[in-house]
Chains A and B, each alone.
Chain A
Amino acid sequence: MTISNLQVFDIKRFSTHDGRGIRTTVFLKGCPLRCKWCQNPEGLFPNRQVLYMENKCIHCLSCVHACQNQGVLFQDGKILLDRKASEDWETIVDACPTTALQFDSVSYSISELMHEIKKDESFFRYGGGVTISGGEPFLQPEGLLSLLTACKEEGIHTAIETSLYVNRKWLEKALPYLDQIYADCKIYDASMHQECTGVDNVIILENLRYLLTCAKKDQVIVRTPLIPGMTATKENIEQIASFLSSIYSQVHYEILNYNPLAKSKYAYLDMEYCFKKNPKLYSDDQMKLFYQIAGDAGIYNLIVES
C-alpha cells in the first residue's frame, strides 16, 4: 500500500446520521482498540479480509473449485474458510456468482476516493458533506490528511468519527481541515477501559481535554455508546459527564443507544460477539434516565439522539 492510498471498508452514500445534511461516510479500515462490542468488526484489522455471507450463498461450490490449498472447504453442507491458507483469494472471490464471498475492503487512491465522494456533491450543497469514520481513521494518518485536504479544496464539509486514541501530532494537523469532530469517550475508569477496549484511556482523555480547550471546541461532539454492563452504568456516565463539563461547561455531549444490529456482522467473519443473547435497545424511559444522569453531572448541551 502506498502512502497516499487508503484501505476503505465501506463508502456509504445518503448517510443521514453522521453529521448535518446528506453525507457520504467513508469507513477507514483498522483500529487500535478492541472494544468488545465493536459495531464494525470488519474495520478492526488493517488488512483486507475475506467475508462470507452465508445467506447469500447458493452452495454452487465455485469457490471450492477455484481454490488450490484447501482455503475453502465444503463440509456437512457448509462452506468453511481457512483465511490463513495460502490461496489466490482474488480468484476465489471472483468465482463466487452471488457475492456471498467478498473482500471486506478496497484500497483507494485519494483521487479515486474523491471521485466517489464527489458523486453526491449535488446533495452536499444543501448542508451535507463527508464523514470519515472507521475503524480509527487516524490509523492511516497520511492518507487521512490528504483526503481531508482534498475535501477542503473542493469546499466539502468534513466530519470525523474518532476514538481519540491518536497521536496528538496527527490530531493537530488534521484539525484545520475538520468542520465537525465526533469524539468517543467510552469508559472513564482506566482499568475498566483497558479491560473492555484493550487500551489505556489516558491518551484519549488528554486528547479530549485538548479538543475541548481548542478554538474548535464548539465543533466537537463527545459521544458515549451505551453497552449494557460496560459503558451503560450510572457511574460511568456520571464520571464522563463531570469530566467533560469540568473542562468545558458548554461541551456538546451525546449518549447513543445500544446498537443490536452489529451482531449479524460477526458471523460473516467467523468472530464471536460479546453478547450470547443480544440485548434490546434501551427504551425511551431508560434513555431519559441516562440523560438525567448526564444533566445532573453538569452537561448543558445534551444532544438527544434523532
Chain B
Amino acid sequence: MNNRIETLKNKMLSQPRYVSIEQALIITRTYKEHEADSIPMKRAYSLYNALHELEIGIEPEELIVGNRTKGVRYGVVFPESGISWVNDELETISTRAQDRFLVRPKDIETFRNVILPYWKGKSLEDVLRLRAGNEIDAISKVVKINQKDHAQGHICPNVKEWLEKGPSILKNEALSHLESCLPEQKDFYRSVVLVMDGVKDFMMRYHDLLIHESLLNPNHASDMKKVAEICKNLSQRPAQTFHEAVQSLWFLFVVLHMESNASSFSPGRLDQTLYPYYKKDIEELRINDREALEIIECLWLKFNQIVYLRNQNSAKYFAGFPIGFNIAVGGIDEKGNDFCNELSHLFLQAQEDLGLPQPNLSVRLHEHTNDELLKHAVRVVSKGSGMPQFFNDKAIVHEMEKMGISSKDAKDYAIVGCVELTTQGNNLGWSDAAMFNMNKVLELTLNHGRCLITNAQLGPDLGSLTTYKTFQELEQAFQRMMLFFIDKMIPCCEEVEKAHIDILPTAFLSGVIDDCMEKGMDVTQGGAHYNLSGIQMIQVANLADSLAAIKMMVYDQKRIRAKDLEEALKDNFQGQEVMRQMLLNRVPKYGNDVEWVDQLGAKWAQFFRDTLRSYTNYRGGPYHTGMYTVSAHVPMGHNVGASADGRLSQTPLADGGLSAVYGRDLKGPTAVLKSVSRLNDDCTTNGGLLNMKFLPEFFKTEIGIQKFCSFLRTFVDLEIPHIQFNVVRREDLLAAQKHPEQYSSLTVRVAGYTAYFTELAGDLQNEIIARTSYDNI
C-alpha cells in the first residue's frame, strides 16, 4: 500500500456516515413535475436529474473518481421503494445496535414534510402491502418474502459490453430502436436515451470539478488533470486504456446504485474483462504492474464507499453494510481450461494490502487450478479478512447447465452479493426472493400446526409427535406441511415481481443486461436473457439434527417417549435438562460424516428443491434454491421454538447454510466436508455457504499452507459449491470461555499438538488467548 492509497484509506475511514435525503428530494420533485408521464419516464427523468444535480466531490489523491453522494458511505433514502421504516427509525438509526448512521435534524424535518407525504400509497412497499399484505403476513413466521421495500440487485451487468460501448453508443442504439419500435416500447427506449445522456453529463461534471480543484491543489494537479481527461473521454467514447476502463467500470456501478439503490451489483470476472486493456497498456509500455496495482487499489477503495441503508430488522439479517461488489478470480475458461492471469494475482494482492470488507473477493477453483493462484489465495486467507472465499466450478457449472443455462454462460458464471451464483451480463437472478424456514415447518408439524412461541394456529393441524405412530408418518406430515407453505409462498413471490414491474422499472440497468434492448423490454418485466428466482432453505443442519434425534430417541431406541418430548419442547426444556443433554450429546449430528444423519438433511433439501422447480416465476423462468443465510440464522432462529436437536427456543440456528450447528462438528474439517458433500449440488444452484474456522497458527508455515491447499483440492473433488474461512480471533476464544457449549469443536494447537479448546484448563486457555492474534502470523 503506497502513500496515496494509505491517505485515501484513512480519509475514507475517518468520515462519519450520514443518512442522505438529497436524491429523495430530487426524485420527489421530478415525480411531481412529471405527473402525466408513465412511471418508466418518471424514473428516467429522476435519474437524469440526479445525475445533473447531486452534489459531487473528489479527493485530490484519487485516481478513480465518482460516488452517488458527496460524502462517502452515506445511507441513501430512496422513496420509490419504501420509506415507512425510514420514518419510524429516523430517531433511532444513529443509536441502533447494528450499522448506525447519523441524521441531520433538518433532514428529518424535510423528510417528514416534503418526502413522506408524497409517497404515501405510491411506493413499492405501500402498493405491495395493499395488494398482498395479508397473504405475506400470514406466512411470515415460516417464509420471509424479500424485495418488498427495495429495488432488485444481485445482478451482474454486462461489464464487457459497457466498456466497449459506453453511454454514447448505447444511447445511439436506443435511438435507432426508437425509430422502428412498437408504440408500447417507446417509453422504454426513450428512457434509455435519457439516462445515457444523463450519464455522459455526469462524467463531464467530474471532469469540470477536477479541473477546477486542480487549480487549488498544485501538488496533485497533473494527476487530477489526467483523471479529468479520462472522464471527458469516457463521456464521448468507450474506454481505451486500463485506467480508462477501470474508471468507466466504476461510473457504471455508481449509476446502477443511483438508479436502483439496490443491494449488490457485481462486477463479475474482472480478471477476464479488464485483461485486454491491461495487456495492451503493458505491451505499449503505458503502464507497469505497480501503477496497475495502484489503480486497482483505488477502485477497491471505491467499492467501500457505497453502502446500503437497511432498516433495523434487515440490518440484523445482513449485518455490516454488505452491498456485495463481488469479483470472481480464476476458474475455467470457455473451453474448460484453467484461467488465470496477472490481474488475478494483482486483485489478490490488493486485498492483501487493504484488508477491507469490499470488494467481496471470490476465487473460482476447479480440478486444474494452478498451484500458484491457489497458494496466493490461501496466503490472503491467512491474513484473516475472511477473503477470498472459494467457489467450485466442478460443483456449479454442470448444475447450471442442467437448469437450461448455455454451456458457455455456465462456464462463465460469477458471484453476486455474498455467495449467490449468476451468469454474467444477461440475468435477472432474483436470488433472494424468499427464505423458507424448514425448522419452523417441522415445529408446526410436531405441534398441530401451532406456533410453540405464541400458540397461534399458523398451519393446518396434521397431528403432533404423539399422534404419529411411526417416523414415516411424521415425515409424511412434514412433507404435507412443506407443500402447504410452498404453495402459499409462490403467489406472494409473484405479487412482489409484479409490483417491481409497476413501480421500479430500471432503464439504465436494462441498457447493460443482454436482450432487454433487443426486446424493448425492461429487466423487471423479464427482458433479460435468463430469468431466475432463488429461494433459500433455512437450515438443513438443524433440520437433520432434529429429525435424527426424533428418529433415534423416540422411534428407534425409544429412550424418550413422544409425549415427554412433545411436552418438553412446549416447555422449552424447563426441568428437562437431562433429556436436552441426551438429545444434544447422544445422537449423532450433521457435520460428523455420519451418513444416515446427513441423508436426512439431504433428502429434505432435495424435496424442497424438486418441488420448487415445478413452479415458474412471473417472468417465465425457473425457481431454484440456495443454502445460505448471511446473518439470518439469528432472526430466523428467533422465530423457532425449542427443537428436538436440543436447541432452546428462539436461539440461533446453524450459521452459514451448509455448515453444521455451532460446536456440533466434532470430527474435524474433513468430516464436515464429507457431510456437506452428501447434499446434492442441484440444491445450491442459487448459492451455498460453508463457514470454517482455523487458528492463525495453521498458516504460519509453508507446510501449513500446502496442507491447506490440499484440503481445498479435496473440497473441489467432493463437489462442494462454496467454502470460506475465518481465522480464529482472540474474541472467538474469549467467547468460547463464556459459552463452551457453542465452541466444543474448536481445536487449538500448541507446539504441534492439538486439543479441544474448551477441554483445556483455564490457565492454559488464557495462555492460548494471549498469543492468538494476527501479529503472530
Residue ranges of A at the interface with B (Cβ–Cβ < 8 Å): 12-17, 21-22, 39, 53, 55, 58, 60, 62, 97-99, 119-120, 122-123, 125-128, 256-261, 263-264, 267, 278, 280-281, 305-306
Type the 1/0 row for B579-614, where 1 means its CB is closer than 8 Å to any CB of A: 101101110000001000000000000000000000
Contact indicator B710/A123 (Cβ below 8 Å): yes
Contact indicator B582/A97 (Cβ below 8 Å): yes
Complex CA–CA separation, A122 to B710 (angstroms): 10
Complex CA–CA separation, A62 to B764 (angstroms): 30
**Which residues of the partner chain A approach B585 to less than 8 Å between Cβ atoms?**
97-99
Q: Name the 9 nearest CB pairs between A and B, nearest first.
A: A126-B710, A97-B581, A257-B751, A14-B668, A306-B701, A97-B582, A261-B755, A17-B752, A14-B670
**Which residues of the partner chain B approach A256 to less than 8 Å between Cβ atoms?**
751-752
A-B contact pairs, 7 of them (CB 8 A): A17-B752, A17-B754, A53-B759, A55-B759, A119-B593, A122-B717, A127-B710
Contact indicator B674/A264 (Cβ below 8 Å): no
**Which residues of the partner chain A approach B578 to less than 8 Å between Cβ atoms?**
58, 60, 62, 97
Given A120-B670, A259-B750: A264 in contact with B704 (beta carbons within 8 A): no
Residue ranges of B at the interface with A (Cβ–Cβ < 8 Å): 577-579, 581-582, 584-586, 593, 667-671, 674, 698, 700-701, 703-704, 707, 709-711, 713-714, 717-718, 740, 749-755, 758-761, 763-764, 767
Contact indicator B752/A260 (Cβ below 8 Å): no
Complex CA–CA separation, A256 to B753 (angstroms): 10
B1 smallest CB distance to A (angstroms): 28
Other-chain contact of A22, B579, B707, B753 (Cβ < 8 Å) = B707
B295 smallest CB distance to A (angstroms): 37
Per DSSP, are chain B's interface residues mostly helix, strand or loop, or mixed?
helix
**Which residues of the partner chain A approach B710 to less than 8 Å between Cβ atoms?**
21-22, 123, 126-128
Known: A260-B750, A306-B704. 9 other contacts (CB 8 A): A12-B668, A14-B711, A15-B754, A53-B759, A55-B740, A122-B714, A122-B717, A125-B713, A261-B764
Q: Considering residues A12, A39, A120, which has the most beta carbons from chain B within 10 angstroms of its beta carbon?
A: A120
A16 smallest CB distance to B (angstroms): 5
Q: Smallest CB-CB separation from B747: which chain A residue?
A: A14
Complex CA–CA separation, A15 to B707 (angstroms): 10
Q: Smallest CB-CB separation from B709: which chain A residue?
A: A126
Complex CA–CA separation, A257 to B669 (angstroms): 26
Complex CA–CA separation, A35 to B714 (angstroms): 38
**Which residues of the partner chain A approach B714 to less than 8 Å between Cβ atoms?**
22, 122-123, 125-126
**Which residues of the partner chain A approach B752 to less than 8 Å between Cβ atoms?**
17, 256-257, 259, 305-306
A48 smallest CB distance to B (angstroms): 19
Q: Smallest CB-CB separation from B768: which chain A residue?
A: A261
Complex CA–CA separation, A163 to B55 (angstroms): 76
A3 smallest CB distance to B (angstroms): 29
Complex CA–CA separation, A22 to B582 (angstroms): 33
**Which residues of the partner chain B approach A128 to less than 8 Å between Cβ atoms?**
710
Complex CA–CA separation, A267 to B749 (angstroms): 20
Q: Smallest CB-CB separation from B703: which chain A residue?
A: A306
**Which residues of the partner chain B approach A53 to less than 8 Å between Cβ atoms?**
759
A91 smallest CB distance to B (angstroms): 13
Q: Considering residues A39, A58, A126, A280, which has the most beta carbons from chain B within 10 angstroms of its beta carbon?
A: A126
**Which residues of the partner chain B approach A62 to less than 8 Å between Cβ atoms?**
578
Other-chain contact of A126, B713, B749, B750 (Cβ < 8 Å) = B713
Contact indicator A60/B751 (Cβ below 8 Å): no
Contact indicator B751/A14 (Cβ below 8 Å): no
**Which residues of the partner chain A approach B717 to less than 8 Å between Cβ atoms?**
122, 125
**Which residues of the partner chain A approach B759 to less than 8 Å between Cβ atoms?**
53, 55, 264
Contact indicator B668/A263 (Cβ below 8 Å): no
Contact indicator A98/B581 (Cβ below 8 Å): yes
B759 smallest CB distance to A (angstroms): 6
Q: Smallest CB-CB separation from B710: which chain A residue?
A: A126
Contact indicator A278/B760 (Cβ below 8 Å): no
Contact indicator B764/A278 (Cβ below 8 Å): yes
Other-chain contact of A258, B701, B711, B751 (Cβ < 8 Å) = B751
Contact indicator B674/A119 (Cβ below 8 Å): yes
Given A99-B585, A122-B717: A261 in contact with B674 (beta carbons within 8 A): no
Q: Smallest CB-CB separation from B674: which chain A residue?
A: A119
**Which residues of the partner chain B approach A122 to less than 8 Å between Cβ atoms?**
714, 717-718
Complex CA–CA separation, A264 to B703 (angstroms): 28
Q: Considering residues A62, A261, A267, which has the most beta carbons from chain B within 10 angstroms of its beta carbon?
A: A261
Contact indicator A13/B668 (Cβ below 8 Å): yes
Complex CA–CA separation, A21 to B670 (angstroms): 13
Contact indicator B751/A281 (Cβ below 8 Å): yes
Other-chain contact of A55, B586, B754, B758 (Cβ < 8 Å) = B758
Complex CA–CA separation, A123 to B717 (angstroms): 9
Q: Smallest CB-CB separation from A282: which chain B residue?
A: B751
**Which residues of the partner chain A approach B671 to less than 8 Å between Cβ atoms?**
13-14, 119
Complex CA–CA separation, A125 to B711 (angstroms): 10
Q: Smallest CB-CB separation from B761: which chain A residue?
A: A264
Complex CA–CA separation, A267 to B755 (angstroms): 15
Given A119-B593, A122-B718: A260 in contact with B582 (beta carbons within 8 A): no
Q: Smallest CB-CB separation from A94: which chain B residue?
A: B586
B58 smallest CB distance to A (angstroms): 48
Q: Smallest CB-CB separation from A277: which chain B residue?
A: B763
A283 smallest CB distance to B (angstroms): 11
B760 smallest CB distance to A (angstroms): 5
Complex CA–CA separation, A39 to B698 (angstroms): 21
Given A256-B751, A257-B751, A281-B751: A58 in contact with B711 (beta carbons within 8 A): no
Q: Smallest CB-CB separation from A305: which chain B residue?
A: B752
Q: Smallest CB-CB separation from A258: which chain B residue?
A: B751
Contact indicator A260/B707 (Cβ below 8 Å): no
Complex CA–CA separation, A10 to B295 (angstroms): 53
**Which residues of the partner chain A approach B669 to less than 8 Å between Cβ atoms?**
14
Complex CA–CA separation, A98 to B711 (angstroms): 32
Q: Smallest CB-CB separation from A120: which chain B residue?
A: B670
B777 smallest CB distance to A (angstroms): 14
Contact indicator B760/A264 (Cβ below 8 Å): yes
Complex CA–CA separation, A119 to B707 (angstroms): 18
Q: Smallest CB-CB separation from A99: which chain B residue?
A: B585
Q: Smallest CB-CB separation from B698: which chain A residue?
A: A16
Contact indicator B764/A264 (Cβ below 8 Å): yes
B268 smallest CB distance to A (angstroms): 30
**Which residues of the partner chain A approach B761 to less than 8 Å between Cβ atoms?**
263-264, 267
Complex CA–CA separation, A263 to B761 (angstroms): 8
Complex CA–CA separation, A302 to B750 (angstroms): 20
Complex CA–CA separation, A122 to B758 (angstroms): 30
Complex CA–CA separation, A213 to B580 (angstroms): 59
B661 smallest CB distance to A (angstroms): 16
B554 smallest CB distance to A (angstroms): 16
**Which residues of the partner chain A approach B577 to less than 8 Å between Cβ atoms?**
58, 60
Complex CA–CA separation, A180 to B755 (angstroms): 24
Q: Smallest CB-CB separation from B595: which chain A residue?
A: A119
Q: Considering residues B718, B750, B753, which has the most beta carbons from chain A within 10 angstroms of its beta carbon?
A: B753
A180 smallest CB distance to B (angstroms): 14
B762 smallest CB distance to A (angstroms): 10
Contact indicator B667/A22 (Cβ below 8 Å): no
**Which residues of the partner chain A approach B754 to less than 8 Å between Cβ atoms?**
12, 15, 17
Contact indicator B751/A259 (Cβ below 8 Å): yes
Complex CA–CA separation, A278 to B766 (angstroms): 13
**Which residues of the partner chain A approach B584 to less than 8 Å between Cβ atoms?**
97-98
**Which residues of the partner chain A approach B582 to less than 8 Å between Cβ atoms?**
97
A251 smallest CB distance to B (angstroms): 20
**Which residues of the partner chain B approach A127 to less than 8 Å between Cβ atoms?**
710
Complex CA–CA separation, A17 to B670 (angstroms): 15
B576 smallest CB distance to A (angstroms): 11
Q: Considering residues A60, A97, A258, which has the most beta carbons from chain B within 10 angstroms of its beta carbon?
A: A97
**Which residues of the partner chain A approach B709 to less than 8 Å between Cβ atoms?**
126
Other-chain contact of A278, B586, B698, B704, B763 (Cβ < 8 Å) = B763
Complex CA–CA separation, A306 to B667 (angstroms): 23
**Which residues of the partner chain B approach A278 to less than 8 Å between Cβ atoms?**
763-764
Given A60-B577, A98-B581, A264-B761: A21 in contact with B751 (beta carbons within 8 A): no
Complex CA–CA separation, A9 to B439 (angstroms): 36
A303 smallest CB distance to B (angstroms): 11
